[in-house]
Structure 1
Amino acid sequence: MTTTVTENPGKALFPNGGWDTHHHIFEPALFPYSPQRHLTPPAATVEQFVDFKRKLGLNGSVLTHGMSYGDDCTSLKAFVPLLGSETTRAIGIIDPQTTSDADLIAMHKAGIRGIRINLYRYKAMEDVELQKKAIIDHAARVAKLSLGWNLTMTTIHTEFWSELAPFVEATMAKSGIQLITDHFGLLKAASMLPSQYHEDPSRQPGFAHVMKLVRDGHLWVKLSAPYRVSERPDYADVKFLVRAFFDANKYRLVWGSDWPHTPRMRVRLPEEALTETPFLEVDDLAWLKSLRSWLSDEEWDLLMVENPKALFN
């Protein structure tokens, strides 16, 4: 979780404010983790995130429910007012079969504006058909109450997008719900790709399908956690992905820190999942400065201010 920042760089980086649309809070001493969790993170408290946000110069955030808490959003509803209800929105996790209408309405009143699909629960991390089922179940549940919520789903198998893309287009159009994918859709920069894709990373599996969804307005993408898509310590090769997304559709992109920087997504054996795993060390300020240098003033303002306000109103 170590983060290198200097005091108040935000005057230069965020003259119009800035939103972190993907971060977590973990306080297991107050809210125990689910016994069925896929990862055991150390504590990352409200106070620590508030300090992180202040030092970077951010003024808004979207708290994303950690999957280590399962579908119990008690902690999420408690954290939002502590972070500041006026400047914080949240993304929860539900069980589409058992979460009641009353629960969803209470979540909305608590500042929750979207649902994260937990593919671990569906045992769907390696199964594209089960991923489709998870989308259908959650879209139907969220659409029922017309709360204006969005859905977030991220697959570790980018090759699945060839099947997911037409399905997502049809399902989201029917439901009227916005779909988001985290961490660049887990499309990879050159340093994390096999050698045959180094010269042209756009040839990697899933790239064309994700870009078409973004271009056509059917998918939002969080430009978050570059360490999940690049092996370079400076993330310089991520520029290719950033520019590809902006050239596809600058109105469907938001930024997230992924604080406190949990490891890459994968299926873990039960013993490993229950063992505390340390956070990654990330220089968030250096990453933000690189990202800013690749964008125009208009693109930066859309990414950091206007797009998140539109998505998480």
Structure 2
Amino acid sequence: MLTTTALGACADTPKRAGADKITAIDTHAHVFSHDLPLAQRRRYAPAYDAQLSRYLAQLDAHDVSHGVLIQPSFLGADNRYLTQSIVQAPQRLRGIAVIDPAAVAAEPGQLDALARAGIVGIRLNLFSLPDPDYTSAVWQATLEKIASLGWQIEVHCEAQRLPRVVGPLVDRHGEPIDVVVDHFGRPKPVLGVDDPGFRYLLTLGATRRVWVKVSGAYRNAVAKTGPDANGAATALAAMPLLEDAFGFDRLLWGSDWPHTQFEHVESYDAVYALTLKLLPTERARRAVLVDTPAKLFGFA
């Protein structure tokens, strides 16, 4: 059971003055405590805390009014810390949960409870995991419930898997579901924008059902050290292609704070600076940082 002690300084975080005015929205960040129960299947476990108070301080320092908290993969489907964090600043924050489709199919009401807590979608973080079987009864029931709530599904997987993971969601019959693809679609670093999976992602712009996060550029870098360790080259090459295929009203920005597994080489300052370089015009910044995420995540 989570306690206020586990949440640390979150409960003491004051409400930001003027938090109802949207100056920018960070659509991808994580908060956690390193001593929380961890998922049995995980690729990584932190040895530090990423407290909500620290995250809100980063937002304030960069004049970012709102944020979206993404359930960390290493916490599995236990979304309690996530929802307890959102309640500390409900006007500023929304959340994306991780769920167990079998549990949802057995008890659909749990998604209603998450919705009341500020959750607006689920994330499929599929690295080291198999593709979802959307044809199964549990997934069919879960997708219907997600659609009825008006939620989105965020996808994080290798670009080469996007046709199998995103394709069925876009092509499914029934009430449509919005799909968000994380971190530039995660092209293979050595291929960059020439990755066939990234090229497939570009074709999805025409559906108007898919959004792409221009986030985590360093996760697409060829190497963790060197002149392009932040992945800027791939990001700069990808941006005009994404703009042409999707338009700014289908692109989102996220800091990916606290930059898990890249904590010692990345910072909010550096990530935000790259974002401003990727979005050099006021029109682009207004669309990607304010208008598009405000509508998709329910801030507007």
TM-score past 0.5 threshold? yes
Once the 2 structures are TM-superposed, how far is the Cα of residue 120 of structure 1 from its aligned partner?
A: 5.9
The runs of 5 or more residues in structure 2 that have no matched partner are 1-20, 223-227
More displaced 10-residue stretch of structure 1: 145-154 or 286-295: 286-295
Q: Matched residues in 1 for 2:135 and 2:44: separation?
A: 21
Q: Verify: 1:224 aligned to 2:215, yes or no.
A: yes
CA distance in 2, matches of 1:136, 1:228: 34
Structure 1 residues 89-168: aligned runs within 5 Å: 89-99=94-104, 100-119=107-126, 123-124=129-130, 130-133=131-134, 138=139, 140-144=141-145, 146-156=148-158, 158-164=159-165, 166-168=167-169
8 Å Cα contact 2:97/2:122 also seen in 1: yes
Alpha-carbon distance between aligned partners in 2 of 1:116 and 1:87, rounded to the nearest angstrom: 20
Aligned 8 A contact 1:65 1:91 in 2 = yes
Q: Quickly say closer, same or farther: Cα 1:135–1:76, change in 2 above 3 A.
A: farther
Aligned residue for 1:242? 239
Q: 1 CA distance for matches of 2:160 and 2:37?
A: 35
**Shift of residue 294 of structure 1?**
3.6
The match for 1:80 is: 86
**Change over 3 Å in CA distance of 1:23–1:97 after alignment to 2:** same
Q: CA deviation at 1:69?
A: 1.0
- Pair 1:64 & 2:66 matched: no
**SS where residue 196 of structure 2 aligns?**
coil
Deviations 1:61-108 (A, max 9, x none): 0000111111111111111112x1011000001111113222111111
Runs of 4 or more off by more than 6 Å in structure 1?
A: none
Cα RMSD (Å) of the superposition? Answer: 2.5
Contact residue 140 and residue 175 of structure 1 kept, 8 A = no
Q: How far did residue 255 of structure 1 move? A: 0.5
**In the alignment, what sits opposite 1:24?**
30
CA distance in 2, matches of 1:165, 1:117: 10
Structure 1 residue 205 and structure 2 residue 205: aligned? no
Q: Is this contact kept in 2: 1:180–1:220, CA < 8 A?
A: yes
Q: Give the paired residue count.
A: 266
Tell me, which stretches of 5 or more residues in structure 1 are unaligned?
Answer: 1-14, 125-129, 195-200, 264-277
Q: CA distance change for structure 1 residues 120 and 205 in 2, over 3 Å: closer, same or farther? A: closer
Q: Deviations over 1:181-235 (max 9, x none)?
A: 11111025xxx325xxxxxx54322122100102331311111111011241454
Alpha carbons of structure 1 residues 280 and 226: separation in structure 2 relative to 1, 3 Å: farther
| Whole-Å separation in 1 of the counterparts to 2:54 and 2:294 | 24
1:12 is aligned to none
> Residues 255-297 of structure 1: CA distance to partner in whole angstroms, max 9, x if unpaired?
111111113xxxxxxxxxxxxxx73431332332333234321
Q: TM-score, normalised by structure 2?
A: 0.80
Q: Give the structure, 1 or 2, with the largest relative contact order (CA under 8 Å, sep 6 or more).
A: 1
Q: Distance in 1 between matches of 2:91 and 2:294?
A: 12
Match of 2:273, SS?
A: helix
- Counterparts of 1:219 and 1:308, CA distance in 2: 13
Aligned-pair CA distance for 1:117: 1.8
CA shift in 2, pair 1:236/1:85, >3 Å: same
Are residues 182 and 98 of structure 1, via their aligned partners in 2, closer, same or farther at CA, if it must alter by over 3 Å? same
Superposition TM-score, scaled by structure 1 size = 0.77
Matching residue's letter, 2:160: E
SS at match of 1:174: coil
